[in-house]
Amino acid sequence: MKYKIIVSGRGAECYVHSIDENQKSKLFECDVENDNCEHEEIIEILNKNDIFETDNIYLGPYNDPENFIIEVFNENEVKVWSSENDHEFKEDEYEFIIGKENYLIVEDYTKGQFFNYEIELDEEFDSDKLKPVITEVIDGIEIITKIRYGEIDLEVFKEYGDYWSKGITYYLS
């Protein structure tokens, strides 16, 4: 039987830039965390064309039941499960991004459908097998970036949804 898992809500698309001490100092001096640094100044300090120019991007809803909805539909587009009714996952997995290096994190607060997965199972869907992968980008920003189903890594089935920006926040680490 085929199922579609949809992950939506309020969350973030985080762009993580590794920076050196000099860049960190300049960003601190221009008060980037309080949004007192012009966009052009930030990209000049980063030596990039855009603040979104990085290979380290993390997207998903915030790890808070009030901020995410995970819904599962069968092949007839009938909803068979929703996290609104049962958001206590039996198991989850954590990933941590920030180490001892210096980073500038550009958090784009977003809302909408982040991603979905279409999977085929030999059995009826079992919500107990859903396991969110929670990525802690920086202290205070935990987002659900992936979903696993039992031992199945669903990343090969991942498609990005329709979400939109609600504002940018900067963090230095």
**DSSP conformational letter for 4:** E
Position 100, amino acid: K
- Integer-rounded Cα Rg, in Å, for the chain is 18
Instruction: Give me the number of domains the chain comprises.
Output: 1
Q: How many CA atoms lie within 13 A of 17 on its CB side?
A: 25
The predicted structure's pLDDT at residue 28 = 95
pLDDT bucket at 157, cuts 50 / 70 / 90: very high
- For the segment 28-72, what is each residue's pLDDT rounded down to a tens digit? 999 999 999 999 999 999 999 999 999 999 999 999 888 999 999
Q: State which residues form the domain around 12.
A: 2-172
pLDDT, residue 86, reads 53
Taking 80 as the threshold, does the pLDDT of residue 74 lie above it?
yes
Confidence category of residue 133, pLDDT binned at 50, 70, 90: very high
Q: At what angle do helices 21-29 and 39-46 cross, to 10 degrees?
A: 170
Helices (H) and strands (E) in the chain, counts: 2, 11
How many other β-carbons are positioned within 10 Å of the β-carbon of residue 114? 26
